Amino acid sequence: MIEHYQAITSFIVELEKLKKVERRIKPPGLSRYENSAEHSWQISLLALTLSPYAKQEVDVLKVVTMLLLHDIVEIDTGDKFAYNANHDDFENELVAAKRLFALLPSQLEQKFLSLWIEFEKAESAEAIFAKGLDRVMPVIQNLHNGCQSWLEHDISIEQVLEKNKVVAKANPELWQWVSQQVKVIGEQAGVREK
């Protein structure tokens, strides 16, 4: 049994590195960039609060597990900005996922790796919901921090609406409400239209 605790501790200590991975967003009220560890915490809570309103019924523990794990590959690959051409980096991320999960006892390794892959494929109800939340979170943050990351990276309202329209697959009403705010608040903040 001790070897299981050694394995789990190695994994948990390796995760410390995600606290160093910077995203492009400055959280509303903070002057520094967000890291991927605190982001993962916040969207797990977004999942817990929005799951009663998901388009398809979801296994909430599965969604939360996906979201707690989804970004740990960035320990090896770094954060990819959603609007960059190289945003999809599945092959490199898979190598990272395999390295990290291999630190765990084999039963957990298999379970987490298959959940991570399921999230990336975005086909199951849980993965579609979790992916939608991962997309809507930085939109909500931009709506409350003066559209900081859109302005800083010269992203247009049209790009925001196009890139994040998958949120509607998780929750169409939520996306309708959020996208209306993107237009109004984005324009007020000086985000270019196209």
Binding status of residue 98 toward a second copy by CB under 8 A: no
Give whichever of 84 and 98 is closer to a second copy, judged by the CB atom: 98
B/e letters for 83-109, b = 16+ CB within 10 Å, e = fewer, are beeeeeeeeebeebbeebbebbbeeeb
Which amino acid appears at position 146 of this protein?
G
Asked if 108 interacts with a second copy (CB under 8 A), we say: yes
Binder of a second copy out of 69, 82, 97, 130 (CB under 8 A): 69
Contact between 28 and a second copy per CB under 8 A: yes
Question: If binding is defined by CB under 8 A, does position 194 make contact with a second copy?
Answer: no
What is the Cβ-side half-sphere exposure of residue 13, based on CA atoms within 13 angstroms? 7
* Rounded distance between C-alpha atoms, residue 88 and residue 163, angstroms: 13
Q: x-or-dash pattern for a second copy, window 125-144, by CB under 8 A?
A: ------------x--xx--x
Cα gap 91→25, rounded to integer Å:
25
Does residue 5 belong to the site contacting a second copy (CB under 8 A)? yes
**In 144-182, which positions are buried (b, 16+ CB within 10 angstroms) versus exposed (e)?**
ebebbbbbeeebebebbbeebeebbbbbeebbeebbeeb
Candidate residues 127, 155, 170, 174; the one interacting with a second copy per rule CB under 8 A: 174
How many residues interact with a second copy (rule CB under 8 A)?
A: 51
Rounded to whole angstroms, the Cα distance separating 141 from 147 reads 8
Query: Which part of the chain contacts a second copy (CB under 8 A), choosing from 2-10, 88-96, 121-129, 162-170?
Result: 2-10
> Which residues form the interface with a second copy (CB under 8 A)?
1-2, 4-5, 8-9, 11-13, 15-20, 27-30, 34-35, 37-38, 40-42, 44-46, 48-50, 52-53, 60-61, 64-65, 68-69, 104, 107-108, 137, 140-141, 144, 173-174, 177-178
